[in-house]
Amino acid sequence: MEKAKLRKLGLANLNWLHEHPIVKEQKELEISRRLFNDPIWQKAQTIAITKPLDFEFDTHILLEKGWQEGKQMLMPVAEKQRQLTFHHVTPETRFKKTTFGVEEPVASQNVSMEMIDLLVVPGIVFTTGGFRIGFGGGFYDRFLQQYQGETCSLVFSEQIQESWQVESFDLPVKQLFIN
């Protein structure tokens, strides 16, 4: 199946979960529990995540846990040439909505990619091998080409789809936390 069709299917599955908030929340709690108990989280001191859209995995639980544990939490800003930079966020950070509908931190400090211990990579569709289909902008694909640290994705079982051809530029995340 081609990526555009899989992206539509993945978005439909995510919207179904959004319409069933109790199911979605239970899955998020179980996935988060697995992440927090894993060495990939426990060793990381600087963690980059996204601020989710309503239908995506709610990363606010990660923010709260990270701050509680004294970790530095980062969120991306989309720059020119479809590049991502990551910026410190605190409970006081203000956000602005982009043309994509994503909220990005305002007036925050940029952090070099070498400082990121763990990058939590978003996506719409995943294979069990860690390959992903995102929104189609290639922001994370470009970042992953340069990034050498740990990567993971937090995935609902409804997002798993094996029936697509991985392309040469597709890079897998190292670990999936699935429920």
**Binding site for ATP: what residues are annotated?**
3-7, 132-140
Q: What sign does the CA torsion over 176, 59, 90, 139 have? A: positive
- Dist CA 154 CA 179 (whole Å): 9
Q: Coil, strand, or helix at residue 103?
A: strand
Residues whose CB falls within 8 Å of the CB of residue 33, separated by 6 or more in sequence, listed in order: none
**Binding site: what residues are annotated?**
3-7, 56, 132-140
Task: Write the DSSP assignment of 17-71 as a string of letters.
Answer: HHTSHHHHHHHHHHHHHHHHTSHHHHH-SEEE--PPPTTS--THHHHHHHHHTT-
**Binding site for substrate: what residues are annotated?**
56
> Is the separation of the CB atoms in 147 and 46 below 8 Å?
no
How many degrees, rounded to 5, is the angle at CA 26 between CA 25 and CA 32? Answer: 85
Provide the 8-state DSSP code for 100. Answer: T
Provide the 8-state DSSP code for 160. Answer: B
